[in-house]
Amino acid sequence: MLNIKQNEYKEEVKMARKIWIVDAFTHKAYGGNPAGVMIVDDFPADAQNIAAELNLSETAFVKPLGGNHFHIRWMTPAVEVRLCGHATLAACHTLYEQGLFTHNKIQLESLSGPLFVTREDDFFILDFPLQPTGPVIDHTFLAQALGAEEHVIEAVQAHDDVIVLLESEEVLKNLTPDFAALNTIDARGIIVTAKSQHYDFVSRFFAPRVGVDEDPVTGSAHCKLADYWQKKLKKTTFKAYQLSARGGEIHLSIEKDRVHLKGKAVTIMEGLWKV
């Protein structure tokens, strides 16, 4: 039998930091996009090491500022990023489960300015900045890197990403990109999208430059996709699906210069970070 001295165990727990893994943009475990979440008194000096050790697309670190006010930061396994949707959803889900999401609406300070999150029934609604898409760019190299030379309709600059439009959902589903080639493109990530029979649009997101070859469900990418598809479809509400192996559904609505992303989350792990 394992011999544990009770006082030593309590001291170890006291010194350790709690951490959660949450599947976001899904209503069931093992779907959507998993994110690490740590609620902290102050941002840890080893935050990047923690994110690298978890090796998830993003880990969110959330610092309560009092009342309905928080500060959030996001780390991939390689770098800190300026905006992340699924880890924000995961963090707010954790704050709610821990009794810290005590208002209908909270504010999060971030590298992308103030973000707002509202709880509505079992959903969280993220109020994020709409990120306008820019001009059409040459897509020759992008098409080659994606392995879709004959199927690219256009490519546009999209804030810190690039959006590539393909001719069909089937082509998108079967892409097998050259990640080494994508890593040379001067963008945070490559958003590849197409029209869909069952959704307004579908997408995939590749970001080897920030340590994530393919992200399962990317809220921040939809801040650009919402603007891109409102210009294409002449509408402001969308039902979107990210066609990764795990998959995830996002409901979107545009209000002036903001976009609302609606989704659910499921906690799959709660533990102690012991270093």
pLDDT tens per residue, range 84-143:
999 999 999 999 999 999 889 999 999 999 999 999 999 999 999 999 999 999 999 999
Burial zone of 208 (CB within 10 Å; 0-12 exposed, 13-18 middle, 19+ buried): buried
Residue 15: the pLDDT is 54
pTM, two decimals, is: 0.90
Residue 12: band (very low, low, confident or very high) from pLDDT cuts 50, 70, 90: very low
CATH of 133-255, one of 3.40.50.970, 3.10.310.10, 2.60.120.10, 3.40.190.10: 3.10.310.10
The single residue of 8, 11, 12, 58 carrying the catalytic annotation is 58
Residue 6 pLDDT exceeds 50: no
Structure tokens at 33: 């996009």
What is the assigned CATH class of domain 6-129+262-273? alpha beta
- Please indicate whether residue 58 is annotated as part of the active site: yes
Give whole-number Cα distances, 161 to 11, 164, 232, in Å.
46, 10, 18
| Mean pLDDT calculated for residue range 1-12 | 45
**Numbered ranges of CATH 3.10.310.10 in the chain:** 6-129+262-273, 133-255
In this structure, are residues 206 and 192 in contact, taking their beta carbons and an 8 Å threshold? yes
Residue 73 pLDDT exceeds 90: yes
pLDDT mean across residues, the chain: 94
Which H helix or E strand runs over 134?
strand 133-137
Q: What percent of the chain has pLDDT over 90?
A: 93
Residue 199: the pLDDT is 98
Residue 102: the pLDDT is 86
